[in-house]
């Protein structure tokens, strides 16, 4: 009964190891870029909260509030409540990294204002992903263990549920890249950071973008692994 898991183990490593290594590398890059540029004060010395406020107001988004939220790099924009929440290091910090992250989050608010299509799809998918990311694999494994036609149907249902999670990580890519592009464009044209400082902003934001690429590759390779397990299992119908 456990045969598919053993047979698939080597396959899983083959599929997932490159994505896993890319993910770890990307996370190390974010950490080192953030550590470096969160220690360098921007020449204007604005806090992340001030940078976000300026970028929002410059685009007419006076209704979007900027608040502080606990956690490390827990920064996010809430499209439902129209609130931009920044972690203490970003909210209070006046570094190049703070400016970059704050402007990136404000970039998400701008996407919301412009009804940016990938953001709309992403928001629409959130509820199904919250369920599918954990329920999908559980249903899939139960289906695989049952080893009967009902089990096969269950396994496919689990696979499709988890597929929504993989799709979500792909839809996230244009959303994140676009928010960073909006941040870079505004930071350089508004003169909030100097051209020299833009190098640091780019390093922080590009490293963060790479973590999303790694997450998408991980989700897709996991999905493919599930599909191989299901298609390659012995049939006992």
Which residues are catalytic, by number? Answer: 105
Nearer CB in complex with Zn ion: 7/69: 69
107 versus 132: smaller Cβ distance to Zn ion: 107
Specify the residue, 175 or 193, whose C-beta has the smaller distance to Zn ion: 175
Q: Packing angle between helix 3-37 and helix 195-232, nearest 10 degrees? A: 170
Count of C-beta atoms within a 10 Å radius of residue 17: 11
Q: Rounded to the nearest whole angstrom, what is the least distance from the CB of residue 104 to Zn ion in the complex? A: 6
Scanning residues 155 to 194, which ones bind Zn ion (CB under 5 A)?
176, 179
- Give CA–CA dist 222/16, Å, rounded: 7
Nearest approach, Cβ of residue 117 and Zn ion (Å): 16
Cα dihedral 98, 101, 104, 110 sign: negative
Burial class (CB in 10 A: 0-12, 13-18, 19+), 231: exposed
In the complex with Zn ion, which residue's Cβ is closer, 144 or 208?
A: 208
Residue 96 Cβ vs Zn ion, minimum distance, rounded to whole Å: 18
Give the containing element (helix H, strand E) for 64: none
Residue 206: exposure state from Cβ atoms within 10 A (0-12, 13-18, ≥19): middle
Give bridge partners of residue 77 from the DSSP assignment: 84
Helix count and strand count (H, E) for the chain: 7, 3
Under rule CB under 5 A, how many of the chain's residues touch Zn ion?
Answer: 2
Q: Which of residues 93-122 bind Zn ion (CB under 5 A)?
A: none
Question: In residues, how long is the chain?
Answer: 237
* Cα–chain center distance at 191: 28
Q: How far is the CB of 101 from Zn ion (least distance, A)?
A: 9
Could you give the string, one character per residue 207-236, with x where binding to Zn ion holds by CB under 5 A and - elsewhere?
------------------------------
Q: Residues near 32 by Cβ (< 8 Å), separated by ≥ 6? A: none
Q: How far is the CB of 108 from Zn ion (least distance, A)?
A: 6
CA atoms of 30 and 26, how far apart (whole Å): 6
Closer to Zn ion by Cβ: residue 50 or 176:
176
Contact residues for Zn ion, defined by CB under 5 A: 176, 179
């Amino acid at each position: 009964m456990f045969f598919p898991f053993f047979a698939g183990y080597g396959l899983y490593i083959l599929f997932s190891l490159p994505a896993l290594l890319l993910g770890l590398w990307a996370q190390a890059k974010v950490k080192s870029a953030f550590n470096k540029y969160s220690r360098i004060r921007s020449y204007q010395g604005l806090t992340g909260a001030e940078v976000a406020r300026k970028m929002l107001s410059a685009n007419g988004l006076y209704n979007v509030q900027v608040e502080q939220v606990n956690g490390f790099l827990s920064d996010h924009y809430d499209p439902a409540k129209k609130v931009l929440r920044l972690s203490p290091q970003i909210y209070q910090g006046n570094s190049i990294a703070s400016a970059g992250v704050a402007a990136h989050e404000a970039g998400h608010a701008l996407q919301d204002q412009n009804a940016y299509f990938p953001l709309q799809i992403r928001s629409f998918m959130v509820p199904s992903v919250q369920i599918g990311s954990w329920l999908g694999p559980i249903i899939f494994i139960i289906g695989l263990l049952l080893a009967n036609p009902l089990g096969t149907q269950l396994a496919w249902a689990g696979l499709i549920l988890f597929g929504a999670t993989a799709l979500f990580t792909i839809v996230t890519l244009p959303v994140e890249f676009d928010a960073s592009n909006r941040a870079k464009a505004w930071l350089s044209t508004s003169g909030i950071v100097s051209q020299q400082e833009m190098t640091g902003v780019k390093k922080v934001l590009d490293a963060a973008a790479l973590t999303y690429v790694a997450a998408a590759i991980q989700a897709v390779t996991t999905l493919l692994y599930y599909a191989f397990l299901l298609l390659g299992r012995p049939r006992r119908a």
